[in-house]
Amino acid sequence: MGKLKLYCGLLGLLLLASCQQPPADTAAKTQAVTASHQAIEWRLATSWPKNLAGLGMAPERLAQLVEQMSNGRLVIQVYGAGELMPALSVFDGVSKGTVQMGHSAAHYWKGKAPASQFFSSIPFGLNAQQMNAWLHHGGGIELWQEVYQPFGILPLAGGNTGMQMGGWFNKPIMSPADLKGLKMRLPGIGSKVLKKLGGVPVDELAGRELYSALQTGAIDAAEWVGPYNDLPLGLHQVAKYYYYPGWHEPGSSMEFLVNQQAFSALPADLQAIVKVAARAINQDMLDDYTQGHIAAMDTLISEHNVQVTPFPPEVIAALKQARDEVLTEEAAKDPMFNKVLQAYLANEAAVKRYFHYTEDALN
Amino acid sequence: MGKLKLYCGLLGLLLLASCQQPPADTAAKTQAVTASHQAIEWRLATSWPKNLAGLGMAPERLAQLVEQMSNGRLVIQVYGAGELMPALSVFDGVSKGTVQMGHSAAHYWKGKAPASQFFSSIPFGLNAQQMNAWLHHGGGIELWQEVYQPFGILPLAGGNTGMQMGGWFNKPIMSPADLKGLKMRLPGIGSKVLKKLGGVPVDELAGRELYSALQTGAIDAAEWVGPYNDLPLGLHQVAKYYYYPGWHEPGSSMEFLVNQQAFSALPADLQAIVKVAARAINQDMLDDYTQGHIAAMDTLISEHNVQVTPFPPEVIAALKQARDEVLTEEAAKDPMFNKVLQAYLANEAAVKRYFHYTEDALN
């Protein structure tokens, strides 16, 4: 209390003193004094290289918005993958409070909480618009909070890549039989779907490792994100076919992870600033990806003569059936997975009924 | 300067005085004092009934976020249509500074600035995701600012209804010939498209007037928004067919209008708070509409036995051709319309090329 009294008294004296000078903008000065007095510093660890297009830009933009809106009272320092901790240690880092925030993708934590996978993307599931609607007005975010609550983490939607591409292939996929033995980089539920059809999913490869893995034939195929991120990796130089659509990730949501204790310690206005900034960035990343994808796709086709090839309908049908089986199997193993699955499937069916009359009817 | 000095001195004294009491939470008190001292009050006029689902909720939510994030330093009072000014006077009200903000739809201002219509929705044009991407990462918002700059208004995207429905009809539409003489409530560019095919668009009817206009036969058809807003109006009780898709408005953007002078007078942190809150609400409205539409559509079909009917392909083709003609004609009349049209069409073509490989390929 003594310290607070002293601060407060000093602040008062400072303000009185500043009035003795001819003030160009007294209100601004008042704020500046308040700001330096109350500055809180947070660290945010990401699972991406710093400033990677799309994924890597979102946390930087969040930090910028928070600093502007809080007038410097909350400053978030962003660290890329490996700077403070490995890419896949972000969840633990936020849980333990090593960092106050993280930016990552929920399916990475399937080992800790299988239900986390619903908050990235489900094969043949919700697209970006449907996902955001379910999260924010359909009960999704409340389930996500329930899944992360035991870890002391508050999840916030942290952007979306939009619908992804089917990936880069060095073997043509003419029928479901061609998936047998296919070594493909593919994460999350999608990898289990591929496995069910006889494929060999490779889960652990990072984006920068894909080029050489395809080049050396260590893998036959790889999906990363979509043109915006795939073009800079040069995957078109080491793969023959660019398949579509991205059945495995129809709208991949990213996440901001917030240490619950650090969040609760913030005053209410800074809590609101963090949440609203995340909400704005959640949309901004999708906007960035949409424009980035369309430009990069045009470049891939017109400058690099990439062959963009559709999966045959019978392959799509087989993958879809396998997805339903995988989801049922996973639900039997984990009650929370089953709880989220039931909510997700009910919403998926309802929104697809509506999109039948709207988006799907006006291509 | 004298007044500022006095304020500043008083603030200093207040802070000193507050330190004499045993402070439960001095930091919070400091903020509260600062807040009451600096409170700025804005008025926001909308073109909707207060608290109308979707459209009417967005400005209330914006005001709430701004108040929370600014800790009460910026308070926005929301007025529904007719409370301070008629629904269609919002643009003038913001331009003149009668109110600091407005919430409306840009196509209403086609008489003042024909190019404003690109920032609502263009028939067969961008859907919500594509529109947000174009606005925020494709140069769209800069063009919008250029269109409103002569009026002293800063535009911000203010939500989206998602793709709308084709409307409520009492005459079946079997071929383009059935559009001849059709009296239909339809705004914006869509109304010109209908007129070109021999229809009689009625532009001025507000939502609450549609029920009796359909019931009395004053009009043959009406589009409003989509199930979320259409169901409460009871339009299914006075129309036989619910047509789809909403070719005329594939993703209607709303707008926050900000008086440029009032905005410039805000300190930088409050400017950021207004902009970021608008960005968050822009997504929140779409999320709200998506979930609202799907629930209301299920109710219309399962409880009210509504016949949801597709426009025949030849009707869609005729409407699309008419749209191209209308856009070309309008561009010849107004250089700014033409400038925005060229940018819009280039983006529309590029994003549709990409969606062909993604969203459109995985329905």
Q: Nearest by CB to A245, which of B11, B294, B361? A: B361
What tokens appear for A295 in the block?
Answer: 């430009």
Give how far B215 is from chain A: nearest CA, Å: 25
A161 close to B (CB below 8 A): no
| Chain A residues with CB-CB distance to B133 below 8 A | 286-291
Peptide bond into A227 cis (omega under 30): no
pLDDT at A206: 80
Interchain CB distance below 8 Å, A360 and B363 = yes
pLDDT at B346: 98
Give how far A316 is from chain B: nearest CA, Å: 9
Calpha distance A258→A125 (Å, rounded) = 26
Interchain CB distance below 8 Å, B137 and A27 = no
What tokens appear for B320 in the block?
Answer: 């699309």
Give how far B32 is from chain A: nearest CA, Å: 11
| Chain A residues with CB-CB distance to B8 below 8 A | 15-16, 18-19, 23, 26, 30
What's the maximum distance between 2 C-alpha atoms anywhere in chain A? 83
Residue A204 is assigned to a ligand binding site: no
Mean pLDDT (chain A, rounded): 91
A240-244, B146-150, B358-362: least confidently modelled range:
B358-362
| Chain A residues with CB-CB distance to B308 below 8 A | 357
Residue A7 has pLDDT above 50, yes or no: no
Residue A31 has pLDDT above 70, yes or no: no
Interchain CB distance below 8 Å, B277 and A276 = yes
pLDDT at A105: 96
B28 close to A (CB below 8 A): yes
Residue B122 has pLDDT above 80, yes or no: yes
pLDDT at B205: 84
Cα end-to-end span (Å), chain A: 65
Give how far B85 is from chain A: nearest CA, Å: 30
Residue A343 has pLDDT above 70, yes or no: yes
Confidence tier at B37 by pLDDT (50, 70, 90): low
Q: DSSP string covering B76-119, please?
A: EEEE-TTTSS-GGGHHHHHHHTSSSEEEE-GGGGTTT-GGGGGG
Residue A223 is assigned to a ligand binding site: yes
Arithmetic mean of pLDDT, A29-42: 63
Give how far A346 is from chain B: nearest CA, Å: 11
Q: DSSP string covering A110-152, please?
A: TTT-GGGGGGT--TT---HHHHHHHHHHSSHHHHHHHHHGGGT
Note the pLDDT tens digit of each residue in B18-32.
333 333 444 443 444
Closest by CA to A271, choosing from A99, A104, A74, A90, is A74
The strand pairing partners of B200, in sequence order, are B183
Q: DSSP string covering A297-331, please?
A: HHHHHHTT--EEEEPPHHHHHHHHHHHHHHHHHHH
Interchain CB distance below 8 Å, B354 and A68 = no
Note the pLDDT tens digit of each residue in A196-206.
999 999 977 88
pLDDT at A267: 97
Homologous superfamily assigned to A37-160+251-291:
Bacterial extracellular solute-binding protein, family 7 (3.40.190.170)
Arithmetic mean of pLDDT, B150-168: 97
Mean pLDDT (chain B, rounded): 91
Residue pairs spanning A and B at CB distance below 8 A: 258
| Chain B residues with CB-CB distance to A297 below 8 A | 353-354, 357
pLDDT at A37: 58
Confidence tier at B363 by pLDDT (50, 70, 90): confident
Give the best residue of A16, A283, A307 to mutate against chain B (max B CB count within 10 A): A283
Percent of chain A residues topping a pLDDT of 70: 90
Calpha distance A227→A295 (Å, rounded) = 8
Arithmetic mean of pLDDT, A144-170: 98
Confidence tier at B208 by pLDDT (50, 70, 90): confident
SS3 A51: coil
Q: DSSP string covering A58-101, please?
A: HHHHHHHHHHHHTTTSEEEEEE-TTTSS-GGGHHHHHHHTSSSE
Q: How far is CA A112 from the centre of its chain?
A: 18
Q: Nearest by CB to A136, which of B284, B294, B358? A: B284
CB proximity under 8 Å: B 32-71 to A? 34, 38, 65, 68-71
| Chain A residues with CB-CB distance to B351 below 8 A | 290, 294
Give the other-Cβ count within 10 Å of B311's Cβ.
23
- CB A271 within 8 Å of CB B276: no
The more confidently predicted of residues A96 and B187 is: A96
| Chain B residues with CB-CB distance to A26 below 8 A | 4-5, 7-8
Residue count of chain B: 363
- CB A119 within 8 Å of CB A144: yes
B279 close to A (CB below 8 A): yes
pTM of the model: 0.90
ipTM for this prediction: 0.90
pLDDT at B211: 96
Residue A29 has pLDDT above 50, yes or no: no
Percent of chain B residues topping a pLDDT of 90: 86
Domain edges within chain A: 37-160+251-291
User: What is the residue type of A290?
Assistant: T
Give how far A203 is from chain B: nearest CA, Å: 23
pLDDT at A363: 73
| Chain B residues with CB-CB distance to A8 below 8 A | 15-16, 18-19, 23, 26, 30
Residue B42 is assigned to a ligand binding site: no
Residue A146 is assigned to a ligand binding site: no
Closest by CA to B293, choosing from A11, A357, A245, is A357
Residue A35 has pLDDT above 60, yes or no: no
Arithmetic mean of pLDDT, B327-333: 98
Give how far A355 is from chain B: nearest CA, Å: 8
A139 close to B (CB below 8 A): no
B13 close to A (CB below 8 A): yes
SS3 A228: helix
Percent of chain A residues topping a pLDDT of 90: 86
Interchain CB distance below 8 Å, B290 and A22 = no
CB proximity under 8 Å: B 179-198 to A? none
Name the closest residue on chain B to residue A137, using Cα atoms. B288
Q: Nearest by CB to A137, which of B9, B127, B291? A: B291
Residue A302 has pLDDT above 50, yes or no: yes
The more confidently predicted of residues B252 and B16 is: B252
Note the pLDDT tens digit of each residue in B223-247.
999 999 999 999 999 999 999 999 9
Note the pLDDT tens digit of each residue in B80-108.
999 999 999 999 999 999 999 999 999 99
Residue A116 has pLDDT above 60, yes or no: yes
| Chain A residues with CB-CB distance to B23 below 8 A | 1, 4-5, 8
pLDDT at A207: 83
Interchain CB distance below 8 Å, B136 and A284 = yes
Q: Nearest by CB to A245, which of B298, B310, B357? A: B357
SS3 B35: helix
Note the pLDDT tens digit of each residue in B124-135.
999 999 999 999
Give the best residue of A8, A37, A130 to mutate against chain B (max B CB count within 10 A): A8
Give how far A317 is from chain B: nearest CA, Å: 11
